[in-house]
Amino acid sequence: MDDTIWFTEGGGDFYGFEDIPAQNKLAQIDDSGRIVEYATPTPDGDGSKVGVDSLVMDRSGNVWFTERLTNRIGRLERNGTIQEFQIPTKDGYALGIDLDSASNIWFAERYGNRIGRMNSHGEYCLSNHSKCEKL
């Protein structure tokens, strides 16, 4: 890990930001103070309705983040590649994200009324089972 500052550019459809269009970006401030943005590769559109929200960095330096409006969890790898993982709860509205000591990714499914969990390979783990499934 390094001392880079990371942040999301989530925007609209969220408390106090209803009139601001939802964004599809996360960004970092590099050592020289320059902002470097990363846009999600969401298919079928310009990505303006993604709602990138919470983020967390894992031990390998990958940045995991929620995409609340598209119901996905994203991973920005150190090489700049973004992978997105659709969560199975229809309209779950993924929000909030954290890691446990085993590198599992935990997040809230706000409208799904549950807590979701993925392993570091992007496999969704059923909360009442230890088995994780590739989505």
Q: What is the pLDDT of residues 25-49, one digit of tens each?
A: 899 998 888 999 998 887 655 556 7
CATH number of the domain bearing residue 116: 2.130.10.10
Query: Could you tell me which residues are beta bridge partners of residue 35?
Result: 29
Domain that holds residue 61: 5-133
Counted domains in the chain: 1
State the sign of the Cα–Cα–Cα–Cα dihedral 35, 69, 43, 64.
Answer: positive
**Could you read off the pLDDT of 7-21 as tens digits, one per residue?**
988 666 666 666 777
Q: Distance between CA atoms of 2 and 130, rounded to whole angstroms?
A: 32
Q: Which two tokens stand for residue 12?
A: 């609209």
> Are 106 and 117 spatial neighbours (Cβ–Cβ below 8 Å)?
yes
- Is 131 a residue whose pLDDT tops 70? no
Q: Supply the pLDDT for residue 133.
A: 63
